[in-house]
């Protein structure tokens, strides 16, 4: 029996038609279905409002305690930067920031940008979260690099027109530090991101390196706060727009601990920059109020803001991805790598092992909180 040869063009057209029908007939989740699935059974606007007000007050207090605790080192000598306890607390806080980026912010971005409420093309066909986070980390490196170059040129220019003793005294007066603090920074710098041979260029250049390191600390603190603030506003906005008390209730306790430990990490960085009291208060204030501000903004926009609308999901997902890349870079490169490659931990194996344990403790504890937050 003779068989009829299959026309390849006809077969190709059939495959195209079937593929088109499969794509166009895939179930599309409507906005109403997304909203109903998100609200589930627990939906009470008035009761949720009470929990939101409690959350604003509780998170504000815990954020303020967390970010100001490391700054009390001059009142509580045990947590002074020269003490071993401060190194362990900073390692714990760095682990918290690392887990915040990997375990909290990054999964939130995945959930937003891979939501069923978004069209499958292109959001389900390309990993936008990791793509944005990757370039966010590189962009953070660019900001870090260019800032250091800019500040270094300024310091060199100012030192060339200033005597060594005057420039040294100027650094001490402006930064509010002491000679021991400057010497400690010089030691850290010789094992940090800049080359140690810069220290040996003479007395004048030695003072330049000290000022450069202080400015580097300030860049780290400001960029780190930027990433934390963006994430905090997004978290607060999501909570404030929610009318689900079953979700908000456990979030209050989880976010209080979250903001407390995250504040300790930021507070440790702020302490190292030797800012004046006014600048420290401003940075602590902005960190403390961002999440409560986000909650209040979510409450105000709860009638018009929808967590499941495509625009909201895309904006939140992109912001979370940017924040995740920034936090991951700062935690790994500027905090953990700088500390563990410095002479203080490198010369003391027992302290280094204890610091690693505290990193694991902070990262592990923050990871466990993803069950509730």
Average pLDDT across each block of 10 residues of the chain; the chain has 373 residues. List them in order. 52 51 46 56 78 92 88 71 81 86 88 89 92 92 80 67 48 41 42 40 42 73 80 80 76 80 80 79 90 89 76 86 87 87 90 95 87 71
- Tell which residue, 212, 228, 82, 84, has the closest CA to residue 155: 212
Would you state the structure tokens that stand for residue 96, as one six-digit string? Answer: 């918290």
Helices (H), the chain: 8-24, 31-39, 45-68, 84-99, 106-113, 120-123, 128-160, 164-175, 179-190, 203-241, 245-272, 277-300, 310-329, 338-340, 343-346, 349-368
Q: How far is CA 158 from the centre of its chain?
A: 33
Q: Given this model, what pLDDT does residue 181 score? A: 41
Q: What is the pTM of this model?
A: 0.66
- Interatomic CA distance for residues 372 and 246, integer angstroms: 11
How crowded is residue 345: how many other Cβ atoms within 10 Å of its Cβ?
19
Reported as a single tens digit per residue, the pLDDT across 128-154 is: 999 999 999 998 888 878 877 777 777
In sequence order, the 6+-apart residues with CB closer than 8 A to the CB of 325 are: 101, 132, 133, 134, 135, 136, 137, 139, 140
With residue 244 as reference, give the H or E element that holds it.
Answer: none
Which residue is it, tokens 């040996």?
200
Q: Given this model, what pLDDT does residue 357 score? A: 96
Q: How would you class 172 by CB atoms within 10 Å of its CB: exposed for 0-12, middle for 13-18, buried for 19 or more?
A: middle
Q: Given this model, what pLDDT does residue 113 score? A: 92
Q: Given this model, what pLDDT does residue 210 score? A: 57
Provide the percentage of residues in the chain whose pLDDT is more than 70. Answer: 70
Q: How would you class 62 by CB atoms within 10 Å of its CB: exposed for 0-12, middle for 13-18, buried for 19 or more?
A: buried
In sequence order, the 6+-apart residues with CB closer than 8 A to the CB of 370 are: 103, 104, 107
- Interatomic CA distance for residues 34 and 310, integer angstroms: 10
Would you state the structure tokens that stand for residue 79, as one six-digit string? Answer: 């947590």
- Interatomic CA distance for residues 366 and 48, integer angstroms: 25
Would you state the structure tokens that stand for residue 196, as one six-digit string? Answer: 């140690």
């Amino acid at each position: 029996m003779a068989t009829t040869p299959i026309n390849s063009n006809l077969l190709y057209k059939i495959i195209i038609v079937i593929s088109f029908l499969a794509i166009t007939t895939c179930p599309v989740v409507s906005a109403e279905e997304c909203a109903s699935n998100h609200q589930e059974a627990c939906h009470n606007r008035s009761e949720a409002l009470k929990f939101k007000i409690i959350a604003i007050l509780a998170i504000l207090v815990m954020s303020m305690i967390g970010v100001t605790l490391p700054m009390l080192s001059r009142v509580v000598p045990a947590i002074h930067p020269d003490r071993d306890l401060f190194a362990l607390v900073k390692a714990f806080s760095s682990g918290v920031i690392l887990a915040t980026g990997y375990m909290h912010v990054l999964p939130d971005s995945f959930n937003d940008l891979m939501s069923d409420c978004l069209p499958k093309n292109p959001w389900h066909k390309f990993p936008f979260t990791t793509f944005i986070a990757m370039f966010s980390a590189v962009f953070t490196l660019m900001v870090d690099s260019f800032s250091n170059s800019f500040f270094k040129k300024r310091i060199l220019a100012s030192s060339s027109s200033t005597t060594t003793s005057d420039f040294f005294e100027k650094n001490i007066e402006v930064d509010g530090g002491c000679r021991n603090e400057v010497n400690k920074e010089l030691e850290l710098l010789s094992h940090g991101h800049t080359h140690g041979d810069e220290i040996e260029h003479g007395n004048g250049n030695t003072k330049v390196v000290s000022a450069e390191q202080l400015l580097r600390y300030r860049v780290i603190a400001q960029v780190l706060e930027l990433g934390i603030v963006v994430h905090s506003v997004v978290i607060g906005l999501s909570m404030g727009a929610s009318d689900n008390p079953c979700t908000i209730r456990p979030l209050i306790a989880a976010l209080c601990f979250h903001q407390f430990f995250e504040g300790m990490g930021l507070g440790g960085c702020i302490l190292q920059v030797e800012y004046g009291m006014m600048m420290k208060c401003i940075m602590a204030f902005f960190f403390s109020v961002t999440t409560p501000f986000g909650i209040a903004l979510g409450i105000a926009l709860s009638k018009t803001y929808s967590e499941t609308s495509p625009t909201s999901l895309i904006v939140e997902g992109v912001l979370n991805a940017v924040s995740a890349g920034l936090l991951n870079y700062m935690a790994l490169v500027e905090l953990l790598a700088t500390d563990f490659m410095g002479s203080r931990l490198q010369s003391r194996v027992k302290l280094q092992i204890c610091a690693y344990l505290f990193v694991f403790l902070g990262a592990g504890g923050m990871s466990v909180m993803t069950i509730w937050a």
